[in-house]
Amino acid sequence: MTGTENQLPATFILIHGFCQGGWIWNLVAERLRARGHNVLSPSLDGCAERAGQLRAGIDTEGHGEEIAKLLYFNDLRDVVLVGVSSGGMVLACAAEQARERVARVVFVDALALFDGEKLCDFVAPPGSISTPFAHGPTRDEMAEHAFYNLDPALRDWAADRITPCPVAVLNQPVKLRRFWDLRWNASALLCSQSQYPGEAHVRRSAEKLHARFHVLDTFHYPMLSSPDALTDFIVSG
């Protein structure tokens, strides 16, 4: 992509996915800030450094409300919401709740569910850790199956930071009463080396939103494998 150096400063909210935290966006956040943009990449309730708060009742709508309140209490407007993987559902919930503050939505190989659908309808979340409140992979499972093609140092760094996902995010139907009927300035990215969510799912959401559709030849975590290309897409997409 070209012309990114001429982009005006913007505010980007980077939303992580399954078993991750804001940390997964560090490489992209650094690049966006180097271009003069404002960037926030919060860890959602019960995730990453907030894993100690894990409890019953944490769901996608609550995560979306967190992002909407982040925009409100920081008086942020004309923001670009970016969601990867299951963060696509959080993006949609947040955008629905804070419509007047959102300029653009960007789905990065994202699960973008329709009202009443569940994540487990589309993917079988991996992992052998299962508790009443959370589900997810062990550190080694993530290193071997999700991060296997990263540079070893980056693979180990990322795998060390994995935490189980609040279980309601996986098995509770998402509530999106208005999002898909509103008009959005939207982009959708397919990671061609990723098995999930897959081209049909990414195209479905892109078509519903009349979004610009892009393909990046990388795997499901492009913020780790291709941070430069992903940054260009986020800025210009």
Q: Give the 3-state secondary structure of residue 70.
A: helix
Cβ–Cβ under 8 Å, residues 225 and 150: yes
The pair of structure tokens assigned to 97 is 């709740």
In this model, does residue 42 exceed pLDDT 80? yes
Domain ranges across the chain: 8-121+166-236
One-letter amino acid for residue 188 of the chain: A
In this model, does residue 155 exceed pLDDT 60? yes
What local confidence, expressed as pLDDT, does residue 231 receive?
98
* pLDDT tens column, 74-129: 999 999 999 999 999 999 999 999 999 999 999 999 999 999 999 888 887 667 88
Percentage of the residues of the chain whose pLDDT score is greater than 70: 96
The pair of structure tokens assigned to 21 is 């935290």
What local confidence, expressed as pLDDT, does residue 146 receive?
87
Other C-beta atoms lying within 10 Å of the C-beta of residue 26: 16
Q: Are strands 165-166 and 186-191 parallel, antiparallel or unpaired?
A: unpaired
Unique residue bearing structure tokens 């409140």: 133
- 54 CA to centre of own chain: 19
Class of domain 8-121+166-236: alpha beta
Nearest to 160 by CA among 142, 183, 144: 142
What local confidence, expressed as pLDDT, does residue 8 receive?
81
Cβ–Cβ under 8 Å, residues 22 and 42: yes
Percentage of the residues of the chain whose pLDDT score is greater than 90: 85
* pLDDT tens column, 116-152: 999 888 887 667 888 899 999 999 999 998 899 899 9
